[in-house]
Structure 1
Amino acid sequence: MLRYAAAERNQEAILQVLTNVLRSEDRFDHNLNALEIGSGSGQHVTHLAKHLPRIRWQPSDIDATLFESIEAYRRQSGVHNILAPIPLDVSSPAIQWPIPGSPKLDLIVCVNVIHISHWNCSLGLFEGSASLLAPNTGLLVTYGPYACDGVITPESNVIFDRSLKRQNPDWGLRDIRDLKELAAKNGLTFVSSHEMPANNKVLVFRKI
């Protein structure tokens, strides 16, 4: 069972913001279907499923070697609202995603993926969300560090961005402005931004 320190640190903060968002959207007490993209170790989806029992969670990742860890967290937690993980390449066309087109998803959650993946993954994320989210109520929720109007702050995020680009030139902090434009092109609208610990943000988009 893998354990990522960053996931351990941020999972409660993500849960609180997601809970508040669902309450503000009058969706908290509804039975919902959710897809997590880039489930990694399984820590986030298990924590969210434990505290949001009315949501049925579908974990996914491009790396199938992580599925054993996801399953281990699921078994250890004892929760029954997490489905078996599925392989998903978010950069692939939405029609190829192994997700039923009906009923539409209520929620897509993507944590710490956008800045450590090619821009094609961001394109696929918004195109897939447009295809799979329920109109008017479906939400895309992303978490991570971002640039804003061409500026990265604070200095620690500037250093982090440089280190990502050294690892892979296609990686790096994405600009919220660009993500808003990408959302608009795909029939999603920007709802809100939430400040998070360690200079991260949660961004919320709605399918319209």
Structure 2
Amino acid sequence: MASISSQKINYPASERNKTPIFEVLQKHFDKNIDGKVLEISSGTGQHVSYFASHFPRLIFQPSEYETSLFNSIKAYAKDTPTKNIKDPIRIDIVDDWKTWNVSNDFDYVINVNMMHVAPFSCTIGLFKNISAVLKPRGILITYGPYANNGVLEPQSNRDFDSNIRARDPQCGVRDIQDLIKIAESYGIKLLHIYDLPANNKCLIWQKLTS
């Protein structure tokens, strides 16, 4: 049987961006409550392990479309000292949340680097389903490259977007103004935009009370 450490997949980009994202989470996650966090598209598990270790009173539910990544997520979770990470579950974001085997009382949802590498239907599915699983006034945090009002900066992000769309025209960097319209149709509003390193942004969304 492979050792736990050998099952871990390490993405250098995830190592680089986990701390800047965590610094944003600190501004919006309440360390003093016993709450629940759902991570959509957990990837290797590097993020959920790092975040969970800093919020010991929150229970983290990782999820991933690619089940081949489950062993890596489990390996990171096993080495997380706070032991507050549940086993990963498979979630297809376009499927109705009732098929996900989760509750609808999450305090927070995290989604990192999914929107631009997935068809636009996944972005719609994210807002539609997260509006159902979040508590009223619950927080959704998304991270990645974004355009705003039709402007995508710098040139490296424009090149990145062109490469993504060349591989799959359904994918590409999303415009924040388009996301606002979709989110508002599902009772979610944009609260904050944080500029983070490597030309990425962290967007803070909140589910309305009604």
By the TM > 0.5 criterion, same fold? Answer: yes
Q: RMSD value over aligned CA atoms? A: 0.9
Contact 2:191–2:204 (Cα < 8 Å) also in 1: yes
Q: Could you tell me which amino acid in structure 1 is paired with residue 63 of structure 2?
A: S
CA distance in structure 1 between the partners assigned to 2:131 and 2:32 by the alignment? 24
Given residue 7 of structure 1, which amino acid in structure 2 is its aligned partner?
A: S
Deviations 1:24-66 (A, max 9, x none): xxx3321110000000100000000011111100000001110
Amino acid at match of 1:19: Q
In the alignment, residue 21 of structure 1 is paired with which amino acid?
H
Per the TM alignment, residue 93 of structure 1 is displaced from its structure 2 partner at its CA by 1.8
Pick the aligned partner of 2:20 from 8, 13, 28: 13
Alignment match of 2:59 (pick from 56, 64, 69): 56
Write the mapping of 1:115-154 to structure 2, written as runs, cut at 5 A: 115-136=116-137, 138-154=138-154
* 1:47 counterpart (46, 50, 54): 50
- Residue in 1 aligned with 2:3? none
Q: Distance in 2 between matches of 1:10 and 1:20?
A: 16
Gaps of 5+ in 1: none
Match of 1:187 in 2: 187
Give the Å deviation of 1:76: 2.1
Query: 1:50-199 alignment to 2 at 5 Å?
Result: 50-101=53-104, 104-136=105-137, 138-199=138-199
Partner Cα distance (1:79, 1:40) in 2 = 20
- Segments of 5+ residues of structure 2 without an aligned counterpart are 1-7
Residue 202 of structure 1: aligned partner: 202
Task: Verify the 8 A CA contact 1:62 1:89 in the aligned structure 2.
Answer: yes
For 1:198, what is the secondary structure of its paired residue?
Answer: coil
CA contact (8 A) 2:52 2:80 kept: no
Q: TM-score, normalised by structure 1?
A: 0.94
Question: Which residue identity lines up with residue 100 of structure 1 in the other structure?
Answer: S
Match of 1:32 in 2: 35
Count of matched residue positions in the alignment of Structure 1 and Structure 2: 201
CA drift of 1:205 comes to: 0.7
